[in-house]
Amino acid sequence: MTSLDEYARQSDCSDPGRYTPLLDSLPTDPRELAAVVRNVMVHYVAAGLTFTGERLEEINNRWVERILGTDQGRHAAPLSAPRAETERVAGCCRDFTLLTVAALRHKGVPARSRIGFAGYFHPDFHEDHVVVDYWNGQRWAMLRFWWIAASLPIFNMEPKIWLHILRRS
């Protein structure tokens, strides 16, 4: 079994490398951190923007150091400095999750990517999806991102409450 200490250490994918100092000033609270990550990244499909060529290729960054390198190539600024949606790094749930996991680990919070299938995006279809699991001091808690509107809150709810909300919509 993997220990919590191992989940608090960077992996090859989550290691920010030369961009490590950018994570120093980020919040430790997962919801506040998620807002910063949404400021750095934009979902390559759900945002409703059209990405082509090199911009579309950003979906293949796959490592935090490359994601941050792309960001810093456009913005020589802290990650919390506002970025226009069109100038954010194009990514998917995997990338939002990976950057969040890297920042939490940098702060000493055990975190991991959780991969599965979500049935709440499209009726009668389960789409692959990646979410953040972080250790809240007592247990693993899930953090989901909403790509469609950055103004929507991040939910971290018990499954039975979440299922109730989904059934109402």
Q: Report the C-alpha gap between 58 and 68 in whole angstroms.
A: 11
Cα 48 to Cα 62: distance, rounded to the nearest angstrom: 21
Q: Count other C-beta atoms under 10 Å from residue 95's C-beta.
A: 26
Our count of domains for the chain comes to 1
User: CA-CA distance, 40 to 84, in Å (whole number)?
Assistant: 9
Give the pLDDT confidence of 109-155 residue by residue, as tens digits: 999 988 665 555 556 755 656 788 999 999 998 886 654 434 334 44
Containing structural domain, residue 128? 4-168
Q: What is the pLDDT of residues 73-82, one digit of tens each?
A: 999 999 999 9
pLDDT, residue 151, reads 38
Q: What CA dihedral angle connects 105, 34, 95 and 148, to 10 degrees?
A: 170
Q: What global pTM score does this model have?
A: 0.81
Over residues 66-95, mean pLDDT:
95
CATH at residue 18: 3.10.620
pLDDT digits (tens, 9 = 90+) for 17-50: 999 999 999 998 988 999 999 999 998 887 788 9
DSSP state of 49: -
3-state secondary structure of 86: helix
Distance CA 109, CA 36 (A): 17
**Of 94 and 66, more confident:** 66
